[in-house]
Structure formats: structure tokens, C-alpha cells
A and B are shown apart, each in its own frame.
Chain A
Amino acid sequence: MSTGEEQEHLALLQGTLDLLILRRLIFGPEHGQGIARAIQETSGDELLIEHGALYPALQRLEARGWISATWGISENNRRARFYTLTKAGRRQLARESTRWRRMAAAIARVLGPDTSEA
């Protein structure tokens, strides 16, 4: 299998996925499966992410200090690792969201005059 292609795919996804995770965590601590579900549902099942890709992303965000994690008990009484947004994470989210919106606007302008949803 060609690892090169896979890496390119991941790289494209990376920024977006990070942003989606951070946004999800605004609503409070959540475990990995919960985040995956939520992202899938809020994006109207359009953003299909491979659940496996989520965990390295979580690991990355944790390493940067944007989220923190503790083991806890989920609503269906199972042990799960809960992620919380840190202060730095909040700041990062604000920065990234602005950048993302600006980029989306720019793409929209390139694509055509009628789709001006920022």
C-alpha cells in the first residue's frame, strides 16, 4: 500500500479535524466515541471520519496543551477517557475559527458570487 497518499489525505484532514474536536468540546467534557458521534451528527453525517484517525488527533491536541484528559465513567456506566478544553485550547479555537471562516469566505469568493456564506 502506498503510504504517501495516505499521509497526504491525513494532512488535508488534520486542521479541520482539530478544529472540529475543539468546537465539540466547548459544550463540556466528552470522551472519544462521543466526540466522533457528535461530529458525525452535527455535520449531517457528511463529514465521515474514520474513528481511528480521531485518537492520534486527540493525542496531538493533548500534547499541545489545548485539551486535557482524565479517566471517568460515561453515562452508560463504562470507563472512558474524558477530554476537556483548556484555556489555551479556547484561545486556539478562537484563532482557528477566525482563520477557518476567512478561508471559507475566500474559497467561496473564488467559487462564485452567489455562495456568500461566511
Chain B
Amino acid sequence: MFWRRKQRDFSAEIEAHLSHEIDRLRSEPGVSDEEARAVARRAFGNLSAAEETFYEASRWMWWDHLRNDLRYALRLMARDLRLTAIIVITLALGIAANSIIFSAVRAVLLRPLPYWQPDRLVQVWDSGPRSGGESDWVSFPDFRDWRASNRVFEEMAAWRFAILTLSGGREPEAIPGLEVTDRLFTVLGVKPALGRTFLPGEDRPGRETVAVISHGLWQRRFGSDAGVAGSRVNIAGKPYTIIGVMPPQFRFPSSIPGDNDVVPIDLWIPMRAVPDLEERGSHNFWVVARLKKSVSLSQSQANMDAVAANLARQYPNTNKDMGATVLGLQHHLTSAVAPVLAILLAAVGLVMLLVCANVAGLLLSRAQVRSRELAIRASLGAGRGRLIRQVLTESMLLAAFGATTGLVVARFGATLLVKFGPENIPRLSETAIDGQVALFTAAVALVAGLLCGVAPALLAGGSELHRSLKEAGARATASRRSLMARSLLVAAEMALAVVLLTGAGLLIRSFLRVIHVDPGFRAANVLSVIVGLPDSRYSDASKQTAFFEELVRRLRATRGIETAAVSDSVPLSGSNDQGAFRIEGRPEPKSVDDGPQANRPRVSSEYFATMGIPLLRGRLFNERDRAGSADVAVISDLAARIYWPGEDPIGRRVCVDWAANGRPIWREIVGIVGSTRHFGLEARQKAEIYLPHAQLPSQFMFLLVRFKPGQLTATAAAIRHEITGLDPDLAGIGFRSMDELIGVAESRRRFQVILMVWFSGLAVVLAAIGIYGMMVNTVVRRTREIGLRLALGAAPRDAVTMILSNGMVLAGAGIAAGLVAAIALMRFIRTLLFGVSPFDVPTFMAVVVLLVLIAFVSAWAPAHAAARVDPAVALREE
């Protein structure tokens, strides 16, 4: 390439040109050597101008300058290693914080889901009065009609969760699985690693005895046997054939939003024939679909609106006012966690600005020392542009060092994040420092380098540098602009710290509120386990009741266990049975789902004692509340207040379920218990109606066991023992303590708060360093003045006051500006707060007091250094 051509080569060419010209001229008669040379030179024009044009155009100059600038910057950095180290470490910390948070954002929010063309995947939900207009599970008949009559989806599939007991060959194991329609894997566009997935029609009765397993289950239970396809197993007591193994990274669903538990699914089987499949009022299914090419989300929504309106006309009993909501799969999965990460990203952004302000201040203080040298360079002909470029090169080089160090720190930080991050942020575990994050880091470093360098660079190019050469005494004047710049930077740092600390403070207060929320039950020493009874042997309701009653009886007799109970939904676990109920004597609602709403857990009589939910009035369930005896219900305090204000609900009757012949079953309210935070510590509380499990048995129950302190492991072992003792083909799943569930419910907030505290700590340290550096500089600069004052009789205390007040004025201005910014900005985090106003006065006050103190402490040492100035020495200088 041309730019490699050297100056010497170019000179040689010009020399050759001149020689040729001279040869030509001399061939004419009567021309002397000297004349020929002179004419050739004249014809050539300005020789050095040509060489200069060459030099400038050939990019050699650019490289030479860069090389010089780099060498010079390195030399400067080496000259003051301590300062360089401080700058590089500061930059590294800021850049690392940004890279870590960005890598998390990328993993959770930006990376496409691991399916084929994931942007075309959507979830479709029922929405209607039952769910208060929110997304709701879908009824299977609705799904079938959607699939038949929509014009916007290529494929649709429905699925629901099932705990499936896998037995045969080895000890039985309860496995989290999905029952799916035949096209699920086609919708997702994922191929199995081994064997095949379901064929069309393989979900029809009689053909549904095939299963697809996860890579994990294949490794764990089948020893990675390559010939696993075709092997026979028992699933839920029925013979099945394994037909395929999914790839290792495949997960579906990748997480369930709103649920605290994120269970990886290990087993997929075709939808089993259950009455639900024909009940339009049973909302138990999830629907995923693939948009046709070039169909947009809003187009599909419009089509589904029409489809749902048709169904509402056709089936007014069940579908009146029911709509269908289409949501992008990715957006839907991340909508709950996006704000959590967004605020962290904003926070690290602020930290980075603070870092830049700090480094800029440090560079300015050095530039001041160097002003004389810069002036000399300027007077020797270095252009303004050259000087600016040189200073920018230096800051860029520092940023590059910072970024390199930062990436190492970020790698470490990302590992910590994966290890300690909350489990209910989907895909957070996939956080890694990869190429894209490195690119982002480079971009941050570039911007940081520019931001840090711009103030010193502009000052370096400033005109008064020339003046600073003229007389040493004028240096004070020369540095006035630098002083102004530094003061502004220090004030800006304080302002940024105020914004950051206020945000962090509000989130901390929210967190404290959340952890002090009374969940309405006592979580300590309670273990929950899911037990699912297979249809094949427990289809009879009395058998279900008998199994659970016997299990509870045996466990209660076990040493180390205080009490045990079963329930079909457990607070904070994501399980619930939210739905409508009717009150006797009040007007009949227009449709099934209209009217009063409540969560309706089915519980055994010991549930309230096990969970520590207090009885407020009336009685709890007891052994006499059985199938056949009077139908009863217990309601929560909140239900009483909402639906029977000013009345006594005890003795009133409600209807939650219908007998097989369609007649409503009227249940008498026998007791009122305390309300729980079933749907989450921060969620709006909902009314609860408890139903006795013995009157409304179910196959899937949570077994809840309250054990004596320290007996957790023994209790878990006892539970396993008793379950297999009752049925050798059964196993429990999802052993979790209630404390753990509470921990998970708080974990996103904990995560956010811990990071915010770290970032704020960093901000405070940076702001403190900023003020300290500035004050040290001020004292040095004003040594002469202070010496003079002292010599003229000022007390050392006056010097201290002078410097301190200087610092406090700066800090005060910054804090005031920060308060204005914080008041303007805090409304953006309103949705992330809990029980705290965005303009919470105590938080704002605490931040101000803290920062004033920090500023005071930071300025203290430099101010006292001022008092120790020896007038004699100070005046003799210069």
C-alpha cells in the first residue's frame, strides 16, 4: 500500500525528475549546468511544498504524531505512577461495573430466545373478567377454535404443567413435565439431538404413549445411552416409549413469568385425555404460536380479537366478554425484570459519569503542573489541534488501560453475578463476558477517554498558556480557567452522587418495607413438597383423600415433626386457584366468571396450624368435614371485609363449585382466618376462600410439614420414606422450605439493592476523592497567599476556615444541583418502589447529610495542611 512509502523514496523520485529535466535542458545548445539546474528547479516549483504535501497526505505524519503522542503519554504516566494507578483503577472499576451490568442485560433482555426465528413466537392468552382483564390461562376448547379459525399463525400449540412420576428400571422419580399438543416442537422450530419429536396426530387418544426427554434427564437417568429411543418406561403408571432427546441447551418453557419457581422441564408427553379438554370454562392451558411470515403482532391481535368475539357470540355462557391477548414471547418473559435491569444500567451510567469527572479532575491537576511545558511546546509551533490531540491521546490511553483491567474485573464480577444472582430472573445464569460485551466495553472506554480528556484538552489548547510563559508569577492567572473547570467537575460529582444515592436510598427503603411485610403466615421451619398421584391408580376421589390423609397422619406421628397438612396452592409458590364464586341471596352474575373473585385453596384441616395462619372467628376445618357431610368453607379476613362489609359472614353460604348434575353446591362459612400474601410480598392482596380437601380432593397437592428446629434434613428423609412406604411407585418433588420461597420472593430486590449499594459506595468514594484532590490542589496553589496572611497576623484557624468553607461551598452547590436533578428523575423509578414515595423526605435528607459529612471529612485534612504553612518558607518560594 501507498502509505507505506517512505519520505526518502519520494525525495529520490524528485531527485530523478530533476536529473531528467537537467539532462533534457542540457541537450539544447549553449546551456550550462548551472542554468539547466536553475531552470529545472524553477519548473518544478516549490520543492519543499511538494514534499510536505506528500508527507501530510501519506499518513506518515499521522502515524508519527500518534507514535510521538503515545510515547509522550507513556512517559508522563510513568513519571507519576501513583496518579496513573489511581486513574486506571478508577476507570477500571467504572468500566467493569458497566460491562457486568451490560452483560446481564444482554443475557436477559437482548439475546434472542434459543428457538428458530424467536421474534415470530408469541403467547396467546385468554383475558376476561375472571382475571380482571389480565392475561389468563386458556381453556382447551378455546385453543382448538383459535387454531381452527385464525388466519395469522403458522402453527399453534397448547401445553400445561404436570408432575409426572417416571418409574420402571430404577426407583420412581417425580419429574416436572409438560403435556403438549403435537405441534409444539414445530412451533418452536427445534430439532431433537437424538430420535424424533411428536408426529402430527400423536396427541390423539390411543397414540399418545410416546415421550420426549431432556438432555439432563437422558444423562442422569439413562446414562447418556445413545440407544434410548425406543426404550419403554412407565410414566404416571402407564407404559410409554421414549422417542427423542432434546439438545443440551434446550429449555421450554425457558421460564414462567410471575412465578417464583423456575423449574427446568425434563419430560414432554402428548396431552392426556382429561375432562378439562372439553370444558370451555376450565382455564388450565398455555398457548404458544408462530406468526406467519410478514404478519405483525398488531395484525395478529386484530385477527384474534375477531376470533374471540365470534366465540363470545357462540358461547355466551363461558366466553362473554372474553378476549384473546397476543404477546411476544420474549417481551412477555422479560417484562417483569426489564425495569430491574434498566435501573441498574442507569445507575452504572451515572457511576461512569462520576468516574469520568473524577479522572478529568485528576488530569486537570496534572495539566496545571504541566502548563509551562505545554506553553513551551505551543511557542515552538505546536498548533492548538496538536496540543489537544496530545492530551486526548493520553486520556484515551488511560481509558484503554482502564478497559483492559476492567474486563478482567468484569469477568470475575460476571461469575459472581451468575453465582449469587436471583434465580427468578430468567436467563441471568447465561451472563458472560463475550465478544459483544467486549465491544460494548471498548465503546464505553472510548466515550470515557473522550469525556475525561475534553476538559484538559480544551485547556491545553487555551490561549492563556502563552501568557503563562511570560512570567512565573502569572501562573495563578493562567490556572484560573483550570480552577473553574475543576470546581465545576467537583460540583458535578457531588450532584451525580446525590442522584445515585437518592435512587439507592429509595430502593433500600422499599426493600426494608418488603422484608418487613407480614406474609400472613409463619415461614420458619416449614417444608413444602409437591406430590402428584397418577390417574391410573388414583382416579377415584376417595382414594386421593385416603392417600393424603394417611400420609399426613404418618408424618404427624414422626419424631421431629410438629404437624403436617396438604394444600393445592401455597403462598408465594406461584400456585393459586383464582376464580369466581357466588354469594347466596345476592343477584346472580351475568356469566360464570362475573361477580366476586377469590383465591380458593383446597386444604386439609391442619393447614392453618402448619402455616401458622391465625383463626380470627368461628372454627377451622376438622375431621368431620368430609365428603357427604355439610359443605363448609373458611374465608380470609380480607374476603370478609370486601364482600361482607358491616355484616357477619359466618353462617352465610357461598358457591364455589357445582355438583356433577350442575346444581350449585352451597357452602356455609364456618370461620374467618388471617389474610396471607399469597400472590407475592409486593402484590395486591386478594380475597381467599379455603375449601376442605376432604370434600374437594385433588391429585396434585403440596405437602406442608412444620418440623422442630434443626430437623430439616431428617424431615425431608422422613417425607421420602413415608411416600414410598405408601406407594412404591411415587416420589415427591420440589422440596423447598417456606423461608426459601420468601427468600426468592425478595431476591430480585435484594439483588438490586446490593448492587445499588455497591454503586453508591463507589460514587461516594469517588466524590470524596474529587473534593480531597481539589482541596489539596487549592492549598498548594494558595500557599503563598496563606503564608502572607499568616505573616500579616491571621490565625492558623482562619486558614483552616478559608479552605474548609471553599470546599463546603463547592459541595453545597453540587448537592443543591443534585437535589433538583433527583427530584426531576426519581419519578421514573416510581414503579420500582414499594411503600415509599419517590419524594421521600427522610431519604433525601439522609443523602444530603451523608454527602455534607463526606465533603467535610474530605476537606478536613487539606484544610489543616493549610494551617501548617510556614510563612517564612512560603514567602521565600518563587
Contact of B54 among A33, A56, A74, A81 (CB under 8 A): A56
**B23 with A59: CB separation less than 8 A:** no
The SS class assigned to the B binding surface is helix
**B14 with A80: CB separation less than 8 A:** no
Asked if B10 is an interface residue, CB under 8 A from chain A, the answer is yes
In the assembled complex, the Cα of A78 lies from the Cα of B17 at a distance in Å of 10
Asked if A79 is an interface residue, CB under 8 A from chain B, the answer is yes
In the assembled complex, the Cα of A71 lies from the Cα of B17 at a distance in Å of 13
**A55 with B20: CB separation less than 8 A:** no
Asked if A53 is an interface residue, CB under 8 A from chain B, the answer is yes
**A78 with B16: CB separation less than 8 A:** yes
Asked if A101 is an interface residue, CB under 8 A from chain B, the answer is no
B515 to chain A, nearest CB (A): 68
**A55 with B21: CB separation less than 8 A:** no
Asked if A76 is an interface residue, CB under 8 A from chain B, the answer is yes
Counting from the closest, the 8 A-B pairs by CB-CB distance are A52-B45, A50-B45, A33-B20, A52-B50, A51-B44, A63-B2, A56-B53, A33-B17
Q: Return the chain B residue nearest A78 by Cβ.
A: B19
Asked if A87 is an interface residue, CB under 8 A from chain B, the answer is no
A53 to chain B, nearest CB (A): 7
Contact of A55 among B13, B19, B24 (CB under 8 A): B13
Most B CB within 10 A of own CB, among A36, A56, A78, A80? A56
In the assembled complex, the Cα of A36 lies from the Cα of B14 at a distance in Å of 12
Asked if B658 is an interface residue, CB under 8 A from chain A, the answer is no
A-chain residues with CB within 8 Å of residue B1 when the two chains form the complex = 63
In the assembled complex, the Cα of A59 lies from the Cα of B782 at a distance in Å of 56
A90 to chain B, nearest CB (A): 19
**A55 with B14: CB separation less than 8 A:** yes
**A53 with B20: CB separation less than 8 A:** no
Q: Mark B213-256, 1 if CB is under 8 A from A, else 0.
A: 00000000000000000000000000000000000000000000
Asked if B558 is an interface residue, CB under 8 A from chain A, the answer is no
Q: Return the chain B residue nearest A36 by Cβ.
A: B17
B-chain residues with CB within 8 Å of residue A78 when the two chains form the complex = 16, 19-20, 23
Show 12 A/B contacts (Cβ-Cβ < 8 Å), sorted by A.
A32-B17, A33-B16, A36-B17, A55-B14, A55-B50, A56-B50, A59-B5, A74-B16, A78-B16, A78-B20, A80-B20, A81-B12
**B13 with A63: CB separation less than 8 A:** no
**A52 with B24: CB separation less than 8 A:** no
Q: Mark B307-336, 1 if CB is under 8 A from A, else 0.
A: 000000000000000000000000000000
Asked if B81 is an interface residue, CB under 8 A from chain A, the answer is no
Q: Mark B31-68, 1 if CB is under 8 A from A, else 0.
A: 00000000000011111011001100110000000000
Asked if A60 is an interface residue, CB under 8 A from chain B, the answer is yes
Contact of B44 among A52, A59, A63, A74 (CB under 8 A): A52
A37-B24, A55-B13, A80-B13 known; 16 other A-B pairs, CB under 8 Å?
Answer: A33-B20, A36-B17, A50-B46, A51-B21, A51-B44, A52-B49, A52-B50, A53-B45, A56-B54, A56-B57, A59-B54, A59-B57, A59-B58, A63-B2, A80-B17, A81-B16
Asked if A18 is an interface residue, CB under 8 A from chain B, the answer is no
Asked if B3 is an interface residue, CB under 8 A from chain A, the answer is yes
Known contacts A50-B45, A51-B43, A81 near B13 by CB under 8 Å:
yes
B25 to chain A, nearest CB (A): 11
**B3 with A55: CB separation less than 8 A:** no
Asked if A62 is an interface residue, CB under 8 A from chain B, the answer is yes
Known contacts A59-B2, A60-B57, A52 near B47 by CB under 8 Å:
yes
In the assembled complex, the Cα of A24 lies from the Cα of B665 at a distance in Å of 105
In the assembled complex, the Cα of A51 lies from the Cα of B21 at a distance in Å of 10
**B20 with A76: CB separation less than 8 A:** yes
Asked if A15 is an interface residue, CB under 8 A from chain B, the answer is no
Most B CB within 10 A of own CB, among A51, A55, A78? A51
**B46 with A52: CB separation less than 8 A:** yes
**B47 with A32: CB separation less than 8 A:** no
**B20 with A51: CB separation less than 8 A:** no
Q: Return the chain A residue nearest B47 by Cβ.
A: A52
- Kindly count the residue-residue contacts between A and B in the assembled complex, taking CB atoms under 8 Å apart: 70
Give the interface size class of chain B: 20 to 34
**B3 with A33: CB separation less than 8 A:** no
A101 to chain B, nearest CB (A): 29
A-chain residues with CB within 8 Å of residue B47 when the two chains form the complex = 52
**B44 with A50: CB separation less than 8 A:** yes
On B, residues with C-beta under 8 Å from A are 1-3, 5, 10, 12-14, 16-17, 19-21, 23-24, 43-47, 49-50, 53-54, 57-58
In the assembled complex, the Cα of A69 lies from the Cα of B266 at a distance in Å of 69
A-chain residues with CB within 8 Å of residue B14 when the two chains form the complex = 55
On A, residues with C-beta under 8 Å from B are 31-34, 36-37, 50-53, 55-56, 59-60, 62-63, 74, 76, 78-81
In the assembled complex, the Cα of A52 lies from the Cα of B48 at a distance in Å of 9
In the assembled complex, the Cα of A68 lies from the Cα of B47 at a distance in Å of 23
A-chain residues with CB within 8 Å of residue B53 when the two chains form the complex = 56
In the assembled complex, the Cα of A36 lies from the Cα of B40 at a distance in Å of 12
**B49 with A31: CB separation less than 8 A:** no
B173 to chain A, nearest CB (A): 69
A49 to chain B, nearest CB (A): 9
In the assembled complex, the Cα of A51 lies from the Cα of B44 at a distance in Å of 4
In the assembled complex, the Cα of A24 lies from the Cα of B50 at a distance in Å of 21
A15 to chain B, nearest CB (A): 17
**B10 with A55: CB separation less than 8 A:** yes
B-chain residues with CB within 8 Å of residue A32 when the two chains form the complex = 13, 16-17
In the assembled complex, the Cα of A51 lies from the Cα of B42 at a distance in Å of 9
Q: Return the chain B residue nearest A79 by Cβ.
A: B16
**B23 with A53: CB separation less than 8 A:** no
In the assembled complex, the Cα of A36 lies from the Cα of B58 at a distance in Å of 22
Most A CB within 10 A of own CB, among B2, B3, B10? B2
A-chain residues with CB within 8 Å of residue B5 when the two chains form the complex = 59
In the assembled complex, the Cα of A79 lies from the Cα of B21 at a distance in Å of 13
A72 to chain B, nearest CB (A): 10
A-chain residues with CB within 8 Å of residue B20 when the two chains form the complex = 31, 33-34, 74, 76, 78, 80
In the assembled complex, the Cα of A79 lies from the Cα of B14 at a distance in Å of 11
B-chain residues with CB within 8 Å of residue A59 when the two chains form the complex = 2, 5, 10, 54, 57-58
In the assembled complex, the Cα of A37 lies from the Cα of B5 at a distance in Å of 25
In the assembled complex, the Cα of A60 lies from the Cα of B5 at a distance in Å of 12
A-chain residues with CB within 8 Å of residue B17 when the two chains form the complex = 31-33, 36, 51, 55, 80
B-chain residues with CB within 8 Å of residue A81 when the two chains form the complex = 12-13, 16
**B45 with A51: CB separation less than 8 A:** yes
In the assembled complex, the Cα of A51 lies from the Cα of B46 at a distance in Å of 9
**B50 with A80: CB separation less than 8 A:** no
B-chain residues with CB within 8 Å of residue A55 when the two chains form the complex = 10, 13-14, 17, 50, 54
A41 to chain B, nearest CB (A): 11
**A76 with B23: CB separation less than 8 A:** yes
In the assembled complex, the Cα of A40 lies from the Cα of B57 at a distance in Å of 26
Contact of A63 among B3, B21, B49 (CB under 8 A): B3
B383 to chain A, nearest CB (A): 14
Q: Return the chain B residue nearest A10 by Cβ.
A: B53
Q: Return the chain B residue nearest A76 by Cβ.
A: B23
B-chain residues with CB within 8 Å of residue A76 when the two chains form the complex = 20, 23
B-chain residues with CB within 8 Å of residue A51 when the two chains form the complex = 17, 21, 43-45
In the assembled complex, the Cα of A1 lies from the Cα of B3 at a distance in Å of 29
In the assembled complex, the Cα of A59 lies from the Cα of B17 at a distance in Å of 15
A1 to chain B, nearest CB (A): 10
Q: Return the chain B residue nearest A56 by Cβ.
A: B53
In the assembled complex, the Cα of A36 lies from the Cα of B17 at a distance in Å of 10
In the assembled complex, the Cα of A79 lies from the Cα of B2 at a distance in Å of 20
In the assembled complex, the Cα of A57 lies from the Cα of B756 at a distance in Å of 60
In the assembled complex, the Cα of A63 lies from the Cα of B24 at a distance in Å of 30
A29 to chain B, nearest CB (A): 14
Q: Return the chain A residue nearest B2 by Cβ.
A: A63
Most B CB within 10 A of own CB, among A33, A55, A56? A33
In the assembled complex, the Cα of A55 lies from the Cα of B43 at a distance in Å of 13
A-chain residues with CB within 8 Å of residue B23 when the two chains form the complex = 76, 78
A106 to chain B, nearest CB (A): 31
In the assembled complex, the Cα of A53 lies from the Cα of B10 at a distance in Å of 13
In the assembled complex, the Cα of A53 lies from the Cα of B58 at a distance in Å of 15
Q: Return the chain A residue nearest B17 by Cβ.
A: A33
Q: Return the chain A residue nearest B16 by Cβ.
A: A80
